[in-house]
């Protein structure tokens, strides 16, 4: 059990002072030696290193953080870690952050603005040095202007905020996806979109509209498999029925395929389906899912580079991955 009622400061842990005593020097010297200062050399340095090895000493990062005013931790805020897309971006962030000596805190907010705000405040209290937003919005109460360079948006652009953003060109990618269907001969191409009032939703709708022309209404989902299934069910009631559907993410595409099959349709013969993201499951659906691959690990790496090195985040490249869920209509 953590935090017993009686707190024993320093609970027996080795401190720098102990190392100093063992090595017969002062704490300043130990501190310098550990920081790799060239001012500590030879025998002194070796004695200190020996003491560290012997005791298994590790510097207290909390004390160090207080003194240095930096924690070497990053906070990632995202809607849900259960979505493989986000999970893989987090992997990329972790890798890059870890390589730079930074740790990663994950806040899975379930879309709750209150929870987002609470977590984001960690940034203001010294617990983390930087914030990666995968939520598509600024946590309430956070003054991003004053936090310049400490906040980066990933995947979703945040409107009205002048934030460095790591993303792909979603409109162009959606256009490419739909053009793939058009090239196969499809003309009635429906769209299962993300939630209304979401930037990605708008961008992908724009790409779809640009390709299909006209004013057909998309069906809105919420990026879950269940919502894709429901959306597809409603599309199947349309007449004439679409011959193809472009889904704003892979999970909704997986739901859509299930709905189509449950309605007795064959994919891709009766209905072609294309997704977005290329999560690992996309290659294992039946039929395997044609989709747009987003470079998720690179998203993470670019976000960390933006935070730690100030690199302006690039617009990354996406790829159309052609699998068996799309084919010529009525084949």
Partner DNA sequence: CTGAAAGCGCTAACAG
Partner DNA sequence: CTGTTAGCGCTTTCAG
Residues lying near a copy of itself in the complex (CB under 8 A) are found at 1-3, 7-11, 13, 56, 58-63, 65-66, 68-71, 73, 80-82, 84, 87-88, 90-91, 94, 98, 103-108, 115, 119, 121-122, 124-127, 129-130, 141, 149-150, 225, 229, 254-255, 257-258, 261, 280-281, 283-286, 307-310
Secondary structure of residue 165 in the 3-state scheme: strand
Smallest distance, Å, CB 125 to DNA? Answer: 7
The binder of 132, among a copy of itself, DNA, none, by C-beta within 5 to 8 A per type, is: none
CB 104 within 8 Å of CB 90? yes
Minimum CB separation from a copy of itself for residue 9, in Å?
5
- Identify what 103 binds: a copy of itself, DNA, none; CB under 5 to 8 Å per kind: a copy of itself
Task: Find the shortest distance in angstroms from Cβ 51 to a copy of itself.
Answer: 16
Q: Measured from the CB of residue 115, what is the shortest distance to DNA in angstroms?
A: 22
Nearer to DNA, 33 or 289 (CB): 33
Contact (Cβ atoms closer than 8 angstroms) between residue 106 and residue 90:
yes
Q: Which of 58, 27, 63, 32 is nearest to 45 (CA)?
A: 32
**237 is in the binding site of which of a copy of itself, DNA, none (Cβ under 5 to 8 A by kind)?**
none
* Binding at 40: pick from DNA, a copy of itself, none (beta carbon under 5-8 Å per type): DNA
State in angstroms the smallest separation of the CB of 172 from a copy of itself: 27
Q: Which is nearer to DNA, 11 or 237 (CB)?
A: 11
- What is the number of alpha carbons within 13 Å of residue 120 lying toward its C-beta? 25
When CB distances are held under 5 to 8 angstroms depending on the partner's kind, the choice from DNA, a copy of itself, none that residue 320 binds is none
Least Å from the CB of residue 149 to DNA: 19
CA gap 223, 234 in Å, rounded: 16
Closer residue to a copy of itself in complex, CB, 108/170: 108
Residue 76 per-residue DSSP state: E
Q: Which does 104 bind (CB under 5 to 8 A by kind): DNA, a copy of itself, none?
A: a copy of itself
Closer Cβ to a copy of itself, 44 or 281, answer by number: 281
Judge whether 135 and 151 are in contact, CB under 8 Å.
Answer: no
Q: Which residues sit at the interface with DNA, rule CB under 7 A?
A: 7, 9-10, 13, 15-17, 24-29, 31-32, 34-35, 38-42, 44, 59-60, 63-64, 66-69
- What does the alpha-carbon distance between residue 317 and residue 257 come to, in Å, rounded to a whole number? 27
> Which does residue 80 bind out of DNA, a copy of itself, none, counting CB within 5 to 8 angstroms by kind?
a copy of itself
Which CB sits closer to DNA, 64 or 224?
64
Minimum distance from residue 48 beta carbon to a copy of itself (Å): 18
- The distance of closest approach from Cβ of residue 65 to a copy of itself in the complex, given in angstroms and rounded to an integer, is 5
Nearest to DNA of 13, 328 (CB atom): 13
């Amino acid at each position: 059990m953590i935090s017993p009622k009686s707190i024993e400061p320093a609970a027996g842990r080795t401190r720098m002072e102990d190392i100093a005593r063992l090595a017969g020097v002062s704490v300043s010297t130990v501190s310098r030696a550990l920081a790799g200062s060239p001012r500590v050399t030879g025998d002194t340095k070796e004695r200190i290193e020996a003491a560290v090895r012997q005791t298994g000493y590790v510097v207290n990062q909390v004390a160090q953080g207080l003194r240095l005013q930096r924690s070497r931790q990053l906070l990632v805020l995202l809607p849900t870690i259960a979505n493989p897309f986000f999970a893989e971006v987090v992997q990329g962030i972790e890798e890059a952050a870890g390589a730079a000596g930074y740790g990663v805190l994950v806040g899975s907010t379930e879309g709750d603005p209150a929870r987002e705000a609470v977590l984001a405040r960690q940034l203001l209290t010294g617990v983390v040095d930087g914030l990666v937003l995968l939520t598509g919005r600024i946590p309430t109460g956070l003054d991003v202007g004053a936090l310049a360079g400490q906040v980066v948006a990933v995947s979703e652009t945040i409107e009205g905020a002048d934030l460095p953003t790591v993303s792909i060109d979603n409109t162009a990618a959606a256009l490419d996806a739909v053009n793939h269907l058009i090239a196969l001969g499809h003309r009635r191409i429906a769209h299962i979109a993300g939630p209304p009032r979401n930037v990605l939703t708008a961008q992908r709708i724009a790409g779809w509209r640009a390709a299909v022309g006209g004013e057909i209404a998309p069906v809105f989902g919420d990026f879950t498999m269940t919502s894709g299934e429901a959306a597809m069910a409603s599309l199947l009631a349309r007449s004439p029925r679409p011959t193809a559907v472009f889904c704003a993410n892979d999970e909704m595409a997986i739901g859509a395929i299930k709905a189509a099959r449950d309605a007795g349709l064959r994919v891709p013969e009766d209905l072609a389906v294309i997704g977005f993201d290329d999560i690992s499951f996309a290659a294992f659906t039946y039929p395997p899912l044609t989709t747009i691959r987003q470079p998720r690990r690179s998203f993470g790496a670019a976000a960390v580079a933006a935070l730690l090195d100030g690199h302006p985040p690039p617009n990354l490249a996406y790829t159309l991955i052609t699998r068996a869920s799309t084919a010529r209509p009525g084949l």
